[in-house]
Structure 1
Amino acid sequence: MSDQNNENEAAAMGIAPQPETEGAIEPQGVEGEGDPFVVLQALQAENADLKDKLLRAVAEAENVRRRAERDRQDAARYGAQNFARDMVPVSDNLRRAIATLNPEEREAASATVKALIEGVEMTERQLLATFERHGIKEITPAPGDRFDANLHEAMFEVPGTGQPAGTVVHVVEAGYMIGDRLLRAARVGVAKADEAAPSGTHVDTRA
Structure 2
Amino acid sequence: MSDNENEIENDATAPQMPDADMDSAEDVLDAQAEAQEPDLREELGKVREQMFRIAAEAENTRKRAAREVTDARKYAVTALARDLLDVADNLSRALGAIPAEARDHASEALGGLIEGVELTDKTLHVALDRHGVRKIDPKGEKFNPNHHQAVAQIPSNAPAGEVVEVIQPGYLLGDRTLRAAMVAISSGQPAVPEDHAAAEAKGDEPGSNIDTTA
In 2, the alpha carbon distance for the partners of 1:84 and 1:102 equals: 29
- Give, in whole Å, the separation in 2 of the partners of 1:81 and 1:137: 12
TM-score (norm 2): 0.64
SS, match of residue 183 in structure 1 = strand
Match of 1:79 in 2: 76
Residue 171 (structure 2) aligns with: 176
How far apart are the structure 1 equivalents of 2:40 and 2:161? 72
Q: Aligned-pair distance for 1:41?
A: 5.6
- Shift in Å, 1:114: 1.6
Cα distance, 1:170–1:43 mapped onto 2, change above 3 Å: closer
CA drift at 1:40: 5.6
1:185 to 180, 187, 196: 180
In the TM superposition, residue 39 of structure 1 has moved relative to its aligned partner by: 5.9
Give the conservation status (yes or no) of the 8 Å contact 2:157–2:188.
no
Contact 1:136–1:176 at 8 Å: present in 2 too? Answer: yes
CA distance in 2, matches of 1:125, 1:170: 23
- Aligned mates of 1:37, 1:81 — CA distance in 2: 66
What is the CA distance between 1:140 and its match in structure 2?
0.3
Write 1 or 2 for the structure with the bigger share of helix: 2
Over residues 42-89 of structure 1, what are the superposed CA-to-partner deviations in whole Å (9 max), with x where a residue is unaligned?
Answer: 654544443333222212111110110111121122222232222212
Distance across 2 between alignment mates of 1:72 and 1:80:
14
Write the deviation string for residues 160-205 of structure 1: whole angstroms up to 9, x where unpaired.
x444443333211111111111111211223345499xxxxxxxxx
Structure 2 equivalent of residue 158 of structure 1: 154
TM-score by length of 1: 0.66
Aligned equivalents of 1:84, 1:36: Cα separation in 2:
71
Q: Which amino acid aligns with 2:55?
A: V
- Structure 2 distance, partners of 1:102, 1:195, is 30
Q: In 2, Cα distance between the equivalents of 1:68 and 1:149?
A: 30
- Name the SS of the counterpart of 2:127 in structure 1: helix
Distance 1:62 1:164, change over 3 A: closer
Alignment counterpart, residue 109 of structure 2, candidates 107, 112, 119: 112
What is the distance in 2 between the residues matched to 1:182 and 1:114?
36
Unmatched 5+ stretches in structure 1: 1-31, 197-207
* 1:101 corresponding residue in structure 2: 98
> Does structure 1 retain, via aligned residues, the 8 Å contact 2:157–2:190?
no
Q: Deviations over 1:8-65 (max 9, x none)?
A: xxxxxxxxxxxxxxxxxxxxxxxx8894445666654544443333222212111110
Return the offset for 1:105: 0.4
Whole-Å Cα distance in 2 between the matches of residues 167 and 53 of structure 1?
Answer: 54
Contact in 2 for aligned 1:146/1:168 (Cα 8 Å) = yes
Q: SS in structure 2 opposite 1:137? A: strand
The match for 1:60 is 57
State percent identity of aligned pairs.
Answer: 39
